[in-house]
Structure formats: structure tokens, C-alpha cells
Amino acid sequence: MFEIKEDFYWNEKPIKIISGAIHYFRIIPEYWKDRLIKLKAMGCNTVETYVPWNMHEPQEGTYNFEGQYDIRKFIKIAESLELFVIVRPSPYICAEWEFGGLPAWLLKDRNMKIRTSYQPFLEKVDRYYRRLFKELAVLQVTRSGPIIMMQVENEYGSYSDDKSYMNKLVELMKKYGIDVPLVTSDGTWHDMLNNGTIPEKALPTVNFGSKSIEHFNKLKDFNKNLSPLMVMEFWDGWFTDWGDEKFKHTDYKEQIEEIDSILSRGHINFYMIHGGTNFGFTNGANYYDYLTPDITSYDYDAPITEWGDLTEKYKAFRKVIQKYSNNPLPELPVQSERKSYGQYKITARTSLFGNLENLADPIFNLSTLTMEDLDQNFGYILYQNNLGEKQTIEKLKLINANDRVNIYLNQKPVETQFDKEIGETISLELEDGKNSLNILVENMGRVNYGEKLPRQNKGIVDGVLINGAYRSGWEHYRLSLDNISKIDYTKTFSEMEPSFSQFKFAINEVKDTFIDMNGWGKGVVFINGFNLGRFWEIGPQFKLYLPGPLLNIGNNEIVIFETEGKVKDHIILTKVPPYIR
């Protein structure tokens, strides 16, 4: 049995928790076992994972625990490898994940107060926990399963100090059968420990990436020397944003001493041991001085790369861990195999404008509606308005739109605005006859941390001013792009329009590979209907990881949705990753 006293105990003997973070939702299920085997071979006896509420309840009252979101299967694989499991369930996970794991439909209530004891929020958490813990309660160590601890909220001390909310979460967890020890995790800066912990109900742990002695001393003082010291997130790498000069990199040689120091005094969870991929539209963003969305790769400079390779960092960490292991570590697993499939020519290309009504039913409203108003979580909205006959529009201005807009007049590009540029005034010269205004708005990823978190509505929130007055009469097209099989490639295409490019090809063996997006503008890539994620010419990521199991022996289809009019007539599948380390 697992217990927390002045240390962690397993069957009444002290145990050293050496854990690594792996997010099952960032890895295709076919590779869960491979990544867990590699985690164990580095010397870990535990795997830790977050749980993203927005993926498990994509629409209010509709749940998904299948395929990539089958958390029970992931935990059972870990159990088969004799690993303990630490689960950090929602409501909020941060994780550089869209809206920090909170479901976007919460924002349909414009009065919503997330991460507080606001009753409408707690009612939705209650209902979700009731369903979530049906999956997890039976897997607790108290019922002969592998889950030894669960976390209450996440870094709450950096957000608020609503203790009634934290206590209510504990009450709900216990209400739905959670009886393993509970923990919290926070930084040690400023008031974070005071704000975010409930020591009488959950063990305080801390998060940091350096200065371990200093942070552990603060935790020790806070805990009054009465409980074990654990870093729940030892940041062994970092995430990368679109527009960064290069992928973020950390010096593992400096981290070796930190790890040794941590293990000599306490317990560790490596964040991340394997990062994975922000498939589809799942990346989060930060907002300090401006919006910084995260790239598709969540490689994180972790010991195990996004594509499953073991790095020098992995081998160095393994040597340190061996000092604290009573038994020899498993042999190093074999490296993953990759293949360069070569170049394929385009099969067909068609316009978004010609396919609007294939992809979405138009929704009319006098004023502009947000994504949340339209029950849409991710992707794009196309707003359409009839501007009338020939005239000069001196001032057209978007009011509170998020995050990136492409403005078209009669389907011809006029202006692109992003973040703080949105709201800049433009002018239009309308021609004789009917004139159509199209505004394509992209959700670049809801902010996952900080003071901007509560207000993450996407689309055009307040409206569009034309010569100083709000324009009425809008058609809305919801483009979540989860139905690209409906695209009609016989529809025409004109240069500089947003488009869909189709590539069909056949292969005789399945291996991991990378799609080279150099020369393309901005958009998303689909392989056999699966959304691999975003690309953007500003970099630093110019190749998307394509896991082999998403390919078919025989026929395959790649579809690229591109919004800037920057396309190519071929694609290249290469075994060379986005960067070498």
C-alpha cells in the first residue's frame, strides 16, 4: 500500500518516486507502450499525466474516452510495465494546451468565472468529475491499481487564492471515489505556496527548473519538515512559440547536478520526459506583451524526442538515476525507425470559397457571433456580408476579434491582421454590382496561463465598424475542418485564395516520416483525415512529424489547407526531423 508520512512509503518501506511526464493525448495510442518502455529504461518507476477536460467533454454533456483519449487504456499499459501512475486531472492543466484544458464551451456564458467557486462553474466541474472518475477510481492503488496520487487543480497559487474553490474540488474528488493521497503543485515565488496549497488535505509539491536547493528549502520550511520533498515539474526543457528564432534548448549538463541534488533529498517528476505533438488545433498560447501561440511540435527538448529518439540528455539523466536505483536499469530500447518517401505531385486544388456550403451550413445573425456562440471550439470562422453597390468605404475596422484575420473583398485578399494589428482601419473601393466582404478568423490557440485566461472568446466578439457604424447582417460559416471528406475538388481555384491541396500516393511499408512544409504559407495538414497540426512560414518549425501508424500500406491522402495563397505543387516526405540534437 502507498502512504505519505515524512516520506513516501510502499508496503511500509520508503520508496523513491522517480517519475516522468507523458501526455497520452499528445501521442497516438499505437506508441503509448513504446514511450512508456523508454521512460522506464531511463530509470523511472512512475509516469505522470495531465487530463484535458476539453478533449474528454468536447461538447457540454458529450464525453470522449476512446482512441487517443482512452486514458484507462494508457494507465493499464503503464500498469502492465509495473509503473506507478500520478494523475493530474482537470479542471485546469496549463500544459501549453488549448485554454489550459478548459473546454471552450464554458465561455458561451459571458459571466463565467473559471477556476473559482462560482457556482455555475462548479456545477459543470461536478458533472464532468462524475463521468471522469468512473474511468479512474477503479485504477487507484487502493483498489489494486497503479494510481498512487492525484493532483488538485494546477499551479493555482499563480492564479488566485480562492481556498473555498480548492476545498470544493477535494470534496468533489472524494464524492466520486478518489481516496489515494492528494497533492498540489506550485512555484515557490511570491505568494504561490500560500495561495495554492491546502496542506491539511493535499501534500504541497513544487515546480522549478533550476536552483533546486533554494526551492526545496522553501518547500521544507513551508511544510515544517513534516512531509517529503517533491518537485512535481522539473523543467528539463521548454516549449517553443511560432516566430521564435529556433527551437528552445536547455543545457542538460547543467541539469545533471540539479537532478542529483533533488534525488539526494527528495523525489522528482521530469516535465517532460517525452513531449509529443500538439495535433490538430490543440496548441495553447501565452500572452504577456503580445500573443505567442505554441508550435505544433511539443518536443520540449525532452530526453525522448517528439519522434521517439533517445537523446544524450536521456543517457546523462539515466546515469544519475542509476545512483539511486537498487537494481540495474533495463537495457536501452532500440531507436525508432524513419523513412524518406520522397516527393509527390499534387492531385487537385480547390478554393475554400467554392466549398463553403459543402463544409458548413451558413448561420445568419444580425451581429457577429463568436466561436463559442456557434458551439465551435477550434479552427476558423468565415464571416460574410453584402456591402452593396459601388461606393468608397473610408474606414473598416474590426472590434475585439481574435486571433488572426484575413480580409477579402469579392474573394480577393485585402488585408491580414494578427493580434494587436486587429482593429487597424482599412479602406475599400467597391465596384459596380454586388460586393461581398469575407473575413476569415483563425483561433490560434486559446491562452493557457496568466491573467488573460478568463477572456478567451474567439472570432469577432464585438463587431465590424464601417464608416463608424456597426455593420449588421452576417452569414457565419463554422470551419472546424473535421469534415474535409466533403471537399469538392472540381470547384475552381484562383491564386491567392485560401485553398485545399490534395495529394494522393501509395506506399508499400509504413514508417515514421516528416512532411516538409518549406515554401508553404500558413494552415493545417491532414493525413488520411487526421489533423496533424499547423504550419506557418514564420517558423521555426518547417516540418511536421507524421507517425507511421497514421499511414496505410497502399493508398494515402494528404490534404493541406492554406490561407495565404502560398502553395506548392508537390510535397516531400523526409526522414530528417525538424532539428537535430
Q: Catalytic amino acids?
A: 155, 233
> Is the CB of residue 442 less than 8 Å from the CB of residue 283?
no
Q: Whole-angstrom Cα distance, residue 190 to residue 157? A: 9
Residues 6+ apart with CB under 8 A from 289: none
Cα distance between residue 123 and residue 129, in whole Å: 10
Distances (CA, A) of 216 to 229, 258, 266, 306: 7, 11, 9, 30
**Cα angle, residue 547 at apex, residues 308 and 291 outer, rounded to 5°:** 85
* CB of 85 closer than 8 Å to CB of 46: yes
CA-wise closest residue to 562 among 539, 527, 535, 544 = 535
The whole-angstrom distance between residue 46's C-alpha and the CA centroid of its chain comes to 22
Residue with cell 456545477: 123
Q: Please choose, from the candidates 255, 275, 332, 347, the residue with its C-alpha nearest in 3D space to the C-alpha of residue 570.
A: 347
d(CA 553, CA 456) in angstroms, rounded, equals: 42
CB 127 within 8 A of CB 82: no
DSSP codes of every residue in 514-569: EEE-TT--EEEEEETTEEEEEEETT-S--EEEE-GGGS-SEEEEEEEEESSS---S
Q: Do 93 and 101 touch, CB atoms closer than 8 A?
A: yes
69-96 CB burial, b ≥16 within 10 A, e <16: bbbebbbebbbeeebbbbbbbbbbbbbb
